[in-house]
Structure 1
Amino acid sequence: MLTLLHLLSAIALLLWGVHIVRTGIMRVYGSQLRHILGKGMTHTPLAFATGLLVTALVQSSNATAMLVTSFIGQALMTLPTALAVMLGADVGTALMARVLTLDLSWLSPLLTLVGVSLFLSRKQTRLGQLGRVLIGLGLVILALQLIVTAAEPITAARGMEVLFSSLTGDTLLAALLGAIFALVSYSSLAAVLLTATLTDAGLIGLPVALGVVIGATIGSGLLAWMNASVQSPAARQLALGNLLFKMAGLLLLPVIDPLVGLIQLTKLDPATLVIGFHLVYNTTRCLLQLPLIYLMAHICQKLLPEYKQPDVVARPRHLDSGALDTPSLALANAVRETLRIGDLVDSMLNRVQVALHEDRPGLDDEIRRLDNDIDALYNAVKLYLARLPRDELSEEESRRWAQIIELAVNLELAGDLIEHMLGKIHNPKTLSRRAFSKDDLEELSCLLGHLADNLRLGLSVFLCGDERSARQLVIQKHEFRHHERKLAHAHVDRLHERVLESLETSSTHLELIADMRRLNSLFCSPAYAVLERVQPSIESLLLGNEASQHTLTRLPASKV
């Protein structure tokens, strides 16, 4: 029982090591790998080579599949090109299996020592995450050694010999076990490494091992299919094509025994034969299937046609779940989706501007739908960021995380506020525009124009983090406040002059100005997040702007 526990713990260590290497590489070089994949979109051979390279680095074709799925889901990559990338990923997995089965026992303690030193001393830096990768590689090599040691007494047990001998001659069952192990371990690489180790220890025969290798390859395709089942039709088409390509390996099962007799003529040890078969099998299969990617893409598009269903509310376009293992990518996705919310708020302001001057049918419904879209995207961004592990973010990433949340909240509040503003502009009883005076309309329209300008500048500051633009935004915020006060006073003067339209809409007019003041504060909030990084207190900025504010107060209202 203790021996079996040692074997299971060694297998668990192998899986954990592969996971650490994959996540470490994605966190350090995730954006670069995404860029490399993007560059490989033009030619089929280049896409194949790109998939091979990326998978060799992250040691997981599943990680490559998640990156490619995000590209094809955003229409940044065609289906045939994505299939070529996945074929290259299969070869990359086989190459890494060959590297990791070399005699690297001397390297394991060195990698672990250096990796732990880097990770503990510089945990939140790129160098610290690189140390994490070295730890994972050291654990993989150590786990393979422990599996060999733990398997030796098991091979001598009569019961285990009978158990594994039952698989002899049933290659289909062996393939099924390989697929199950790849699904459970979330890695076909780990399944192949374990199979090679157990074969070398004499625990399983070579025919069974080859069947397990074929099954593990199919298991990785099943895993990609399961991950894509809730994604876009294009992502499901890619997963289906990838799975169908891998299932072609089942054609080899009837000829496993003659194939074993052929490869045993090489006189190599069993582990080398298993790894060599995995490499040759994947390379040959993928090269033969590479010219068929356009045919496979056509078949998948026929089997899983894309259909357009009317969206009740907007759906997120950039919140790729596959990027959550790479915080920098995930934050960039959240930024893009938040900017999309900002564009929707800008559209709402434009419709309020229209509502001031004309009675357009359906305007209320348009603004209501836009506000619903904003609410939906805000919730999506919020839940997406909640899935990021905060304790693993660097200081800069944590700051960016907080900025995204703050702006998303402000934009959601702004959407609600703008919807209420439209209700004040329209007479709820007659569903017509309130009869503002000509001067009132010009003032409100002017304030809305300034408000839209501040929103756009605020989104630019949020995206770029430019200090000069942030200072300009703060100045424009105070210019808006000064302008808003002057217009409010001008409105009161018209009340004194007994202008009938102004008297009838006075309450609504002043409420709208107050709402715009609140919106202005929400739109200008990104400036303070930027300026707090370059100065300890914002008060010095405000004091520095007193002169400009004093100058503004002396200008006539027509020039403000």
Structure 2
Amino acid sequence: MHGVDTILNVLGSVTLLLWGVRMVRTGLTRAFGGTLRRAIAACSRNRFTAFVGGLGLTGLLQSSTATALLLASFAGRGLISLPIALAVMLGANVGTTLTSQVLSFDLGWLSPLLIAAGVIAFMTIDADKPHHLGRVGIGLGLMLLSLKLLTAAIEPLRTSPSFIAALAGMQDEYVIAAILATVATWFIHSSLSAVLLIMSFAGSGIISPALALAMVVGANVGGALAPYMDQSATDIDARRVPLANLISRLVIGVAFMPFLVPVAHWLALLEPSVARAAVNFHSVFSVVAALVFLPLIEPVAALCRRLLPAKPVADDPGKPRHLDPNVLDTPAEALGCALRETLALGDRVADMLRQSIEVFEHSDPKAVRAIEHADNVVDSLYEAIKLYLIQTSRTDLGEEEGRRYVEILTFTTNLEHIGDIIDKNLMELAAKKIKNRYVFSVEGLAELKAFHSRVLENLRLALNVFTTRDIALARRLVAEKAVIREAEARAADSHFARLREGRPESIETSSIHMDVIRDLKRINGHLASVAYPILEAAGELADTRLKAAQPLRDAHAGS
């Protein structure tokens, strides 16, 4: 049971360290996500400013993996070139070593202060930035606490016969140690946590200095392997950035492997502490990689393009273009991505609605099938937006963000319903008209086109209301409901007048004509719903449309 307790204590300490790193990263991303991304763009003018930008960014985020995923997203969208992205990553690798240097000192006394201050700020301040900076304070405190717990947890391993025997057989197997460290770092997705764990092992005398350096090599390679594996299902452009970073770390790691013993002696001369030697080697590794590869970013980029050539693929209209998974930790940006994708969805629904009247006018069966295919695309985009919003809602949404989340989800649902009405109802009516070779009267077709044109204009207005949240536009959209009701009544009166005249074409198409008007009115109702939350928040809605109840005088008169 003693061994089980040790394993559980080590596991708990490592997971607490990982959670602390995550809290710091998410806190900083939510507080300064947009600023950090703009800073990367500003530093991308040349390789040297890009290197400095990556160093500063990862020094804040404390995760080169997070930086690699962010850069992969930028590269996938064409916002940063591959050579510049590699320069940023070289700086990011140096930046993450700064945190390990700070945490290698005994700062355990700061842990309760940081946790207390962070919890107070997180629970008492509603403003976004102080709230998220409180999360950062909690994360830093947990990281320091986890290191203190980890040191205590591994102390029994120094006298464990089985653990000592296992390490004794690996003391000169530096390649095996590096491979094991690579796999472990890939699994926990944090080279910082892996290096700090190795530092604890070395400081406790459990592993030799040279073996510690071999494991640091593995931690660096594993830290680059994690983002490459995470991007395996993304675009080729996005995958090339972590591949370039993996190549640079792998080359430097292989180059260091034959010289681990002399390097360990050299580091011991600079600082006798074995624990500090492991952390210092982590910094040396990244600095050497930067010195070697910063002048070679263009050849490495060319090599990555050869290893991962672009594949010609057919454009998938159902694939979302704006739902960036790397900004889910920043709700404001994630909601902005969802809004852009919703507008793209709205454009597709508008195209369906625009084409629907042409089907009735020209009786084209190919157009019916095209609209059915377009509805499948709308359904795919709707599902993607809905799942993306659900992922966004798992983070802490502010009051305004929560309101916008509901508005986007509701509007996308209404757009999907409109697509279904066009496909399942209007196109079914069109197919019936085509099959029976019915023809609308000239006046009837003109009425349908005028009614359809009004609804199409309201679709454009609804998209503008959704984007701008303008109260005047929202009032205008709601007022259009009364206009549509009046237009429906006029169209019905005109149609019934033609029926009374005995017009054959009107008699044949009567049910189709009235159903088309009904379905277009339903579409307009879905469109108008986008305005109600905006008007309600502004206090522009009445409590009820009913008139006040009148006293039943006649009833009282008889009493």
Tell me whether the two structures share a fold, i.e. TM-score over 0.5: yes
Question: 1:539 aligns to what SS in structure 2?
Answer: coil
**Kindly tell me: are residues 135 and 539 of structure 1, through their superposed partners in 2, closer, same or farther at Cα, counting changes over 3 Å?**
same
C-alpha separation between the residues in 1 aligned to 2:420 and 2:13? 56
The residue identity in structure 2 corresponding to 1:478 is A
The residue identity in structure 1 corresponding to 2:426 is M
Deviation of 1:40 (Å): 4.0
Question: 1:75 aligns to what SS in structure 2?
Answer: coil
Residues 449-493 of structure 1, C-alpha deviation per residue, up to 9 Å, x if partnerless? 221221122122222222222222212333233233223323323
Q: Is the 8 A contact 2:264 2:277 kept in 1?
A: no
Question: 2:427 pairs with 417, 422, 425, which one?
Answer: 422
**Kindly tell me: are residues 377 and 157 of structure 1, through their superposed partners in 2, closer, same or farther at Cα, counting changes over 3 Å?**
same
The residue identity in structure 2 corresponding to 1:382 is K
**Kindly tell me: are residues 250 and 80 of structure 1, through their superposed partners in 2, closer, same or farther at Cα, counting changes over 3 Å?**
same
C-alpha separation between the residues in 2 aligned to 1:312 and 1:89? 34
Q: Is the 8 A contact 2:365 2:434 kept in 1?
A: no
C-alpha separation between the residues in 2 aligned to 1:440 and 1:85? 65
Deviation of 1:407 (Å): 1.2
- Correspondence for 2:525: 521
Q: Is the 8 A contact 2:471 2:534 kept in 1?
A: yes
Residues 321-358 of structure 1, C-alpha deviation per residue, up to 9 Å, x if partnerless? 33333333322222222211111001112212333443
Determine if the alignment matches structure 1 residue 494 to structure 2 residue 498.
Answer: yes
Deviation of 1:379 (Å): 1.4
- Correspondence for 2:537: 533
- Correspondence for 1:187: 190
Taking the TM superposition and a 5 Å limit, the aligned residue runs for 1:38-49 are 38-49=41-52
- Correspondence for 2:326: 322
- Correspondence for 1:504: 508
Q: Is the 8 A contact 2:461 2:473 kept in 1?
A: yes
- Correspondence for 1:366: 370
Deviation of 1:138 (Å): 0.5
- Correspondence for 1:269: 273
**Kindly tell me: are residues 12 and 448 of structure 1, through their superposed partners in 2, closer, same or farther at Cα, counting changes over 3 Å?**
same
C-alpha separation between the residues in 1 aligned to 2:234 and 2:525? 38
Determine if the alignment matches structure 1 residue 202 to structure 2 residue 170.
Answer: no
Determine if the alignment matches structure 1 residue 54 to structure 2 residue 57.
Answer: yes
Residues 6-15 or 279-288, more deviating: 6-15
Taking the TM superposition and a 5 Å limit, the aligned residue runs for 1:15-54 are 15-54=18-57
Question: 1:229 pairs with 229, 232, 254, which one?
Answer: 232
C-alpha separation between the residues in 1 aligned to 2:451 and 2:295? 61
Say what the alpha-carbon RMSD is for the aligned residues.
Answer: 2.5
TM-score by length of 2: 0.90
- Correspondence for 1:452: 456
The residue identity in structure 2 corresponding to 1:421 is L
C-alpha separation between the residues in 1 aligned to 2:227 and 2:395? 28
C-alpha separation between the residues in 2 aligned to 1:325 and 1:460? 27
C-alpha separation between the residues in 2 aligned to 1:106 and 1:159? 34
TM-score by length of 1: 0.90
C-alpha separation between the residues in 1 aligned to 2:96 and 2:395? 31
**Kindly tell me: are residues 60 and 541 of structure 1, through their superposed partners in 2, closer, same or farther at Cα, counting changes over 3 Å?**
farther
Deviation of 1:318 (Å): 2.1
- Correspondence for 2:122: 119
C-alpha separation between the residues in 1 aligned to 2:43 and 2:186? 28
- Correspondence for 1:408: 412
C-alpha separation between the residues in 1 aligned to 2:299 and 2:149? 45
Residues 111-164 of structure 1, C-alpha deviation per residue, up to 9 Å, x if partnerless? 111111122234784422221111110011122222233334432445444433
Q: Aligned residue pairs: how many?
A: 542
**Kindly tell me: are residues 45 and 428 of structure 1, through their superposed partners in 2, closer, same or farther at Cα, counting changes over 3 Å?**
farther
- Correspondence for 1:94: 97
Deviation of 1:61 (Å): 1.3
**Kindly tell me: are residues 190 and 422 of structure 1, through their superposed partners in 2, closer, same or farther at Cα, counting changes over 3 Å?**
same
C-alpha separation between the residues in 1 aligned to 2:335 and 2:436? 43
The residue identity in structure 1 corresponding to 2:371 is I
Determine if the alignment matches structure 1 residue 67 to structure 2 residue 70.
Answer: yes
Q: Is the 8 A contact 1:123 1:129 kept in 2?
A: no
- Correspondence for 1:239: 242
**Kindly tell me: are residues 356 and 460 of structure 1, through their superposed partners in 2, closer, same or farther at Cα, counting changes over 3 Å?**
same
Determine if the alignment matches structure 1 residue 349 to structure 2 residue 353.
Answer: yes
Deviation of 1:16 (Å): 1.9
Q: Is the 8 A contact 2:177 2:218 kept in 1?
A: yes
Deviation of 1:528 (Å): 0.8
Determine if the alignment matches structure 1 residue 437 to structure 2 residue 457.
Answer: no
C-alpha separation between the residues in 2 aligned to 1:370 and 1:495? 35
Q: Which runs of 5+ in 2 are unaligned?
A: 548-559
Deviation of 1:428 (Å): 5.3
Q: Which runs of 5+ in 1 are unaligned?
A: 545-560
Question: 2:530 aligns to what SS in structure 1?
Answer: helix
C-alpha separation between the residues in 1 aligned to 2:203 and 2:380? 55
- Correspondence for 2:553: none
The residue identity in structure 1 corresponding to 2:398 is S
Q: Is the 8 A contact 1:313 1:369 kept in 2?
A: no
Question: 2:451 aligns to what SS in structure 1?
Answer: helix
Question: 1:211 pairs with 211, 214, 217, which one?
Answer: 214
Deviation of 1:396 (Å): 2.5
C-alpha separation between the residues in 2 aligned to 1:144 and 1:317? 42
Determine if the alignment matches structure 1 residue 301 to structure 2 residue 322.
Answer: no
C-alpha separation between the residues in 2 aligned to 1:102 and 1:318? 43
The residue identity in structure 2 corresponding to 1:398 is G
